[in-house]
Amino acid sequence: MIEVVTEITIQAPIEKCFDYARDIDVHTQTVWKHTRERTVSGVTSGKIGAGDTVTFQATHFGVRQKLTSRIVHYERPHIFVDQMVKGAFRSMRHEHHFRKLDEKTTYMRDTLKFEAPLGVLGWAAERLILKRYMYAFLQSRNRKLKALLER
């Protein structure tokens, strides 16, 4: 299993950061445009919450795919965790942590854990391609989220 961790400090209150991070409309605005990511079922607009599911459709590595996640842990405004229930990975868990640094500053930490399918081939893909790809994806999304929150 691979673990990718990203950290960012945002000049915005913790509640606002938490709510933007779980907003489906904000999510689709902040992901890479070339993936053409969109929601196709579950919560397709607005804020996702405890027990909710969402299915995204996107193109990664030239392959159109769907991924369905459920919010399995939710403590506003400190943490929410989405976990894949159906998709291309063997498993995927994404933890979104928020810590208030002061009234106007929030520390956000994402921890993404995933395991590719296909045995030895998946193991190699995780280490040679997917770890860097997923790190870059999260870093890009978090920078765009920060820009939205700080404007």
| pLDDT tens digits for range 57-105 | 999 888 899 999 999 999 999 999 999 999 999 999 999 999 999 999 9
Rounded-to-integer distance, Cα 128 and Cα 122, Å: 10
Phi–psi pair at 42, nearest 5 degrees: 75, -145
| Length of the chain (residues) | 151
Amino acid residing at 143: R
Helix axis angle, 131-150 relative to 14-21, nearest 10°? 130
Q: Which residue has 């907003």 as its token pair?
A: 23
pLDDT at residue number 121: 85
Distance between CA 18 and CA 99 in Å, rounded?
10
User: pLDDT category, 124, cuts 50, 70, 90?
Assistant: confident
The fraction of the chain above a pLDDT of 70, given in percent, is 100
- Structural contact between residues 79 and 95, judged by C-beta atoms closer than 8 angstroms: yes
SS3 assignment, position 62: coil
pTM for this model (two decimals): 0.92
